[in-house]
Amino acid sequence: MSFSSLPPGQQWYVAYTQPNAEVRAAAQLANQDFFVYLPRFMRRHRIGRRDIRGPSPLFPRYLFVGIDVENQRWRSVNGTVGVSWLICQGDRPASIDAAIVEAIAGREDEDGMIKLAPPRNFRPGESVRVTGGAFTDQLGLYEGLVDHDRVRILLDLLGRKVRVLIESDVVVSAA
């Protein structure tokens, strides 16, 4: 679902989807002639013991829908397979500024994936805290960046120093 500008008369609205149903909802809305934008990024996740990289929604459970509320049956969005509801303000859908969607789309690479900001650069020896995964809430010392997605930190586990590679997005400063 790559981005292109909205046709005249349409505005961007946000649909809240069912869990893990963003792609299905986007396809169903597109089949109903709604203009849909689902920003995605490449994410690493674990399945069993394997690390897998694949596209993941930038905003889980949300997607953008282009609608002309005066000329399209916008209420049908709520009954679409994969959609929980259209975000409304009162009894009308709440539009969002097209500049916001265009700014997000402006970060897409040639494959249509959003380029995320590089991980925060810590100084070697800086105290860090792990916020997710098997080592949640452990404190350690930052050693260095391994690749774009992982960092090496030194943890104190069971009375010994252990070097671990961990995803950079679950490491924050402990200061």
Q: Using 50, 70 and 90 to split pLDDT, how confident is the model at 121?
A: confident
Which pair of tokens denotes residue 132? 């997710």
Region 99-120: what's the mean pLDDT?
Answer: 85
Task: Please say if the pLDDT value at position 102 is more than 60.
Answer: yes
Region 149-173: what's the mean pLDDT?
Answer: 86
37 Cβ contact list (under 8 Å, min separation 6): 1, 3, 12, 63, 64, 65, 66, 101, 105
Superfamily of domain 11-105: NusG, N-terminal domain (3.30.70.940)
Q: End-to-end alpha-carbon separation of the chain, Å?
A: 40
Q: Which H helix or E strand runs over 23?
A: helix 22-31
**What pTM, to 2 d.p., does this model score?**
0.70
Q: So where are the chain's domains?
A: 11-105, 127-173
Distance CA 72, CA 62 (A): 21
Task: Check residue 47 and give its pLDDT.
Answer: 77
The reply to whether 11-105 and 127-173 are identical in fold is no
Q: Are 41 and 114 in contact (CB under 8 A)?
A: yes
Region 83-100: what's the mean pLDDT?
Answer: 94
Region 86-93: what's the mean pLDDT?
Answer: 94
Task: Check residue 2 and give its pLDDT.
Answer: 58
Report the topology of domain 127-173: SH3 type barrels. (2.30.30)
Task: Please say if the pLDDT value at position 148 is more than 90.
Answer: no
